[in-house]
A and B are shown apart, each in its own frame.
Chain A
Amino acid sequence: MNSVVDSDTPPPLTPSLLYLDGVSVSFDGFRALNELSLQIAPGEMRAIIGPNGAGKTTMMDVITGKTRPDTGEVLFDRGIDLTRLDEAAIANLGIGRKFQKPTVFESHTVEDNILLSLKGDRRARTVLLARTNADEAQRIDEILTTVGLAAQRTRLAGLLSHGQKQWLEIGMLLAQDPKLLLVDEPVAGMTDAETEATAELLKRISAADHSVVVVEHDMAFVRALGVKVTCLHEGSVLAEGAIDVVSENPRVVEVYLGR
């Protein structure tokens, strides 16, 4: 299957943090991903755009272990094969994921949401006896300040506004201290002010040496991020480059942006 890329290339030499090569996924005959190849460098922020059904969410499912690819390679952090691991193992390797619909633990307080997400030993027997220590309390303070929810810390997450839930979820990702954050439509349903704040937040996160992959439809937001853009279409890469280059690509205009 790997006709394009020489499959003998030793993976450890790749400088990328995330390396997808020739990844295909089919659901009942529908090709959600079609020979998708993508590389994300350490510390890079990348925006992914594309029409509905282009395979953006499926790509995230493959990276986070929710979906097994039919063919292709998915390597992370010097050659770890993600296709053999489950969601929990991948999360513990340092890949955090924000869902399209904000998903937080609604019956827990805001600070507990962060606490439970903090990087640490996830084994049941350790967690059973775990007590919040000073380090953790400090990390929680830092993260809540970063995402602007310090004043809400003792509220139940279920009572937050839509935008606040989005930020809380980003805060939960930060708590995991992942090497790579996958962020699916972070500004869907946000006001303009919230959208702007979110762009700033993601830029700050990326500057703090996290790689970030953002899937987004909002072109103004993508422009505000000011990073390299990949446009997906029918499960593979249609165009890649700076936002101005990609948005002037005639194929991108045709399938996605519209004339």
Chain B
Amino acid sequence: MITHALISNDKTGKWFLAIVLGMAVIVPLLHLAVPPTSLFHISTSTMALLGKYVCFALLALSLDLVWGYCGILSLGHGAFFALGGYAMGMYLMRQIGTRGVYAHPILPDFMVFLNWKELPWYWYGFENAWFAFLMVMAVPGLLAFVFGWFAFRSRVTGVYLSIITQAMTFALMLAFFRNDMGFGGNNGMTDFKDILGFPIQATTTRAALFAASAVALALGYLVAKAIVSSRLGKILVSIRDAESRTRFIGYRVEHYKTFVFTVSAIMAGIAGALYVPQVGIINPSEFTPGNSIEVVIWVAVGGRGTLTGAALGAVIVNFAKTTFTTGFLAPYWPFLLGGLFVLTTIWLPKGILGTANELWERWRPPAQTSDGNPGTKPDSAAQPAE
């Protein structure tokens, strides 16, 4: 019912949910039930790729929530994604048990290799799925909360905030590269065997992981939509457009920013956690500043401040990336990506979805606008007040 109330006025949202939830059912079905000889069969690699896109879409959605609606341009959202991924990776490492190369019942291979004698305290509990899944949300959420608390309370805004978010992900990358951090250093974590007792390479497990990612994307959309449709969402937009005005009518801007930044980081963490079992590896390269910047490009291309556009942008840009980086065009991909960003900024400042919405508003017959929101039509009756 709440869902219905949320999206009843939102055609794009309905389509988005229908497509995402439809994919959650259809893609696993086409993979499992349709024989590989059929034209409609979806191969393991295609499903893994689609699963990756869906996780990226959730990450883009989380960035759009803070950037599109609250004006916080985070250039470090990849860090929250990676932390969620690491929490999941730690759980998966502990599931390997004696099947590792060194067959140590407790220590992951890389710790045995480093001659460690016992599990570091921060690995405790990760053998439990519920604890690990809690950490998937708690670790990025807590980092975002602490980071946001200090940054927003000190009123760091604009480009300065972007720079320190970038510094945050860079610092984490350097830290996670170190072997003595106890997260596998350079190599990260891989060779996962089981998730929740199911073999991670099994087709059914992979299908279930894909479905879980699609459901997570749908839920993430609903949470984000609920936030931006609430009165708090209006305050976020107010902060984006006129921060000091919002302060002077009595809102504690830093609380609102910290709240939305934390929620967003948790969403990014979940995206990372679903990404890791599908790609089978997590390593410090996920913290690379470039990754976080790419997320910004996805959102800009799709249309910021639209939620669905961000998800769309993630899929489009990553599809292009997959296409171009596998052929002879591979060396030129960075130029294409950069060019895409520049062209979007110049010609489609509202992104694909934002521009499409605008065209739709303009094209729509005027009879329908009278019961809609006349505010979006600049030419609608503007009688002077006096």
Contacts and interface: CB of A to CB of B under 8 A. Distances in A.
A220 to B, nearest CB: 19
Tell which of A91, A92, A96 has the most Cβ of chain B within 10 Å.
A91
Given A108-B234, A128-B227, A92 B250 contact: yes
A91 to B, nearest CB: 4
Interface string A64-96: 101000000000000000000011100110001
A106 B244 CA distance: 14
Contacts of A96: 248-249
A242 to B, nearest CB: 30
B241 A127 contact: no
B245 A103 contact: yes
B247 A87 contact: yes
A124 B250 contact: no
A247 interface: no
A197 interface: yes
A256 interface: no
A179 B225 CA distance: 37
Contacts of A115: 231, 234
Given A109-B375, A124-B232, A152 B242 contact: no
Contacts of B378: 159
A106 B246 CA distance: 12
Contacts of B373: 109, 154
Contact of B374 (A99, A123, A155): A155
A112 B234 contact: yes
A122 B251 contact: yes
Classify chain B: how many residues form its interface, as a range. 20 to 34
Contact of B248 (A91, A105, A128, A156): A91
Interface string B230-270: 11101101100110111111111101100100000000000
B329 interface: no
B375 A97 contact: no
A230 to B, nearest CB: 22
Given A91-B249, A92-B250, A124-B232, A108 B374 contact: no
Tell which of A116, A150, A154 has the most Cβ of chain B within 10 Å.
A116
B231 A128 contact: yes
A92 B246 CA distance: 12
Interface residues of A, number: 48
Contact of A155 (B230, B231, B246, B380): B380
Nearest to A173: B249
Contacts of B232: 124, 127-128, 130
B2 interface: no
B173 to A, nearest CB: 32
Nearest to A148: B385
A105 B231 contact: no
Interface string A94-133: 0011010001111111001001110000111001111110
- Tell me if A's interface is mostly helix, strand, loop or mixed: mixed
A105 B375 CA distance: 13
B154 interface: no
B386 interface: yes
A149 B259 CA distance: 33
Contacts of B250: 88, 91-92, 122, 176
Interface string A159-170: 101001001000
B249 A116 contact: yes
B383 interface: yes
Given A105-B242, A108-B237, A116-B238, A88 B247 contact: yes
B359 interface: no
B346 interface: no
A172 B241 CA distance: 16
A107 B241 contact: yes
A122 B238 CA distance: 14
A91 B247 contact: yes
B364 to A, nearest CB: 17
B247 A155 contact: no
B343 to A, nearest CB: 25
A163 to B, nearest CB: 9
Contacts of B253: 88
Nearest to A93: B250
14 contacts: A64-B248, A88-B251, A92-B250, A104-B245, A105-B241, A105-B242, A107-B237, A122-B250, A147-B385, A151-B385, A152-B382, A156-B376, A159-B375, A167-B385
In the complex, the 10 A-B pairs of residues with the closest C-beta atoms, listed nearest first: A91-B250, A148-B385, A128-B232, A156-B375, A87-B247, A130-B231, A92-B250, A103-B245, A105-B238, A88-B252
